[in-house]
Structure 1
Amino acid sequence: MVVEGYMDVIALAQAGIDYAVAPLGTALTEEQIAHLWHMADEPILSFDGDNAGLRAAGRAVERSLPMLRAGKSLRFIIMPDGEDPDSLVQKEGRQAIEALIDSASPLVNVLWNNLTAGVPVDTPERRAGLEKKIFGALAEIQDENVKKLYQTEFRSRLWELFRPQRSTQQKRAGDSPGFRRSGGRVVSARASRCRPGFSAKPPSGVGAVWGR
């Protein structure tokens, strides 16, 4: 478990959590991440819940992406607002820290949240922009198998994210004056009415425009 300061390491050790380390005030480096992976497959990075801590978490994600490989990743803890491991363990004890450890977020979730938070997706252009942003970030992953699996995962998440937008647009189209739904399709209401002298059933192969 990586914390931000040496006082956090000391406080956690005194509470019986003796597996914490700290980079001593510097941003976590690629070399340090590599050392962590010699000790654990998914080390936990703990950051303070302030803006500086959130930025530090984002930098750690960016630096780790090119290094990801099968079985090696990171998990993340964002401390409650205004708290760090030192203050939290002194107020609420070891159990509070262990509860955060048990619920630590995997890197894939943190990356997704970083890329999508606050991004509007209400138009095709904005959705295309988000897709470009996401797959540009995933291009940093050097391990081809890990990259492919991340791309598959994020395509699935994009589908779920965009689906409400598609449904809303389809509903609007179906509710527009002059349109109705037929067999799951939106068709012109005018196309459904026949002029005098025309058959209500179009000849084989003729579409909804018959009878306009």
Structure 2
Amino acid sequence: MSHTIKPLLEMWSRDPARHAPLEDAQGLAAGCLISALGLSFLASVGLLTGGIAGLAFLLHYATGLPFGVLFFSLNLPFAYLAYRRLGPAFCGKSFLAIAVTSVLTDLQPHLLTISWIHPAWASVLGGLLLGFGLLALYRHRASLGGIGILAVYLQERLGWRAGLVQLAFDLSILALAFLVAAPAIVFYSAVGALVLNLFVAINHRADRYIARR
């Protein structure tokens, strides 16, 4: 085989149970871009989401601090679980994804302006895009940290569906949102969280997609 063609072919893994570095790179990049876009739809109408992103949104709306900074900072305590329980590769890729998504989310207002969108539509689109983004990251052994790391850990150790685990946490966080947000905002936020987590629960199964790295 040509010395020129062979390295190109080796950029893609021939083993269906493993990802090559190039495959991981495109999966992580796509997951971060799509997740940041989903967060921008939610933020455009003041909606929340669950997990660490939900807490970051609450603090962002309350303090005015950049969402990306809060999102990254709140995820730092989960580094230990990611490193010790899911491995250094998962930990490294997850925190790279968190950093990239945080930066993209803060840059988004300078790159995209949503002049008007109904909160119901924003919740559906935002939840669906976040679901696609998380699915891409999960399938390349990464997450957006926080509850996502815990959800992947529980799925791999106990067989609990990651999407359903995350949904339970998300609904708990959204219940706290009633303390600081209008009921309509919390309702539409819950719709987005439901769309996101049902999408992940239906489409992400450890026994259906086995690629590892």
Establish whether TM, by shorter chain, passes 0.5. Answer: no
Structure with the greater alpha carbon radius of gyration: 1
Bigger strand fraction = 1
More helix per residue: 1 or 2?
2
Which structure has the higher relative contact order (CA within 8 Å, separation 6+)?
A: 2
